[in-house]
Structure 1
Amino acid sequence: MRYEEALDLKERMIDIVKTLEMNHIDLNRIECLRSFGSSTRRTIARCHALGKVMQKAMRTRAFYTIEFLERFDKMKKEEQDKVIIHELLHVPRTFGGGFRQHDFVCEKNIEILYDKFMEAKDEIKSDGKNKNWFWK
C-alpha cells in the first residue's frame, strides 16, 4: 500500500463541512489521504480514528483520517461528494475518536445531506446565506 496526501479532497471535505455546518468536526484534526494498491473490490473510502487508548498513550486528542482508494477518483463528482459525506457521518458529534455506525450512516441520511449541500450551494450563490437546519 502507498499513501499520499490529498489536498484537493481535503478542500472539498472542508467545503462540505462548512456548507453543512458540521461544526463538531475539527478541521485541524482531520486529514484526507489517497491510497494505492489495495486489493479490496468494494471499498471506496475508509474513515480511520485515533482511538481513546492511543490518545491516552500518546497524550493527544482525537484525530481522524479519511482514506480514499483508487476507485474513488473514477467516480462522478456527485457520487464522490456523497462518499465524502458518508465518511464524515462516521465522525461522532463528540469528535472523541469513536465512530458512528451504519444505523446512522445510511443512504437516507447521506441523500438528505447531499440534497441540503446542493441547496445550500445554490442559496449561497443566489443570496450569500446558508440556511442549513440538519445539525440544529
Structure 2
Amino acid sequence: MLTGLDVTHYEGLRETYAGVWQGLTHTEINERYGDQYAAWKRGEPVRRGGGELETEVADRAAPVVLAAADKLGDDGVLVVVSHGGTLRTTIGRLIGLDPVSWESLGGLSNCCWSVLGEGVRGWRLTEHNAGTLPEPVLGDDT
C-alpha cells in the first residue's frame, strides 16, 4: 500500500441493499416498480426493492464510524471509504439531521470525499463532495 497504513474492512459500511432493485437502472426500476420508486423519490421511507431503509443503513454504519473515531487521539484522522448512499446517511446521522433531510446533502461523486470534524457541540460537516467539479450522481434529479 502506498501510504503504509492498515486497512480494516467493516461489514457495516457496505452499500445499501436494494433487494430486487439491485443491478437495475433507474428507468428499469421506474418501469417495474413505479409506485415504490415514486414514493422513494418523494422522500418517503421506502424499502427499495424489499431492501434496507436509509435509517437502517445509518443504524449499522454510523456506529462503525463512531467506534473508530473514539480510538483516535486528539489530532487523529480517520478515513472512511464506502458507497455514496451509505456515506450520505451516515453523515446525516452524525450531524443530527432528521432522516427526511438527508437527501439535502446531495450525493457523492466517485472518488470524492466529505470532511467532518467533531466539536464541543457534536459533529460538523465542513466539506461535501469535494475533489472534482460537481457532476451528476446516480439518483440525483438532473
> Which TM-score bucket, shorter chain as reference?
under 0.3
* TM-score, reference length from structure 1: 0.27
* TM-score, reference length from structure 2: 0.26
Instruction: Report which of the two structures shows the higher radius of gyration computed on alpha carbons.
Output: 2
Which one has a larger percent strand, Structure 1 or Structure 2? 1
Which one has a larger percent helix, Structure 1 or Structure 2? 1
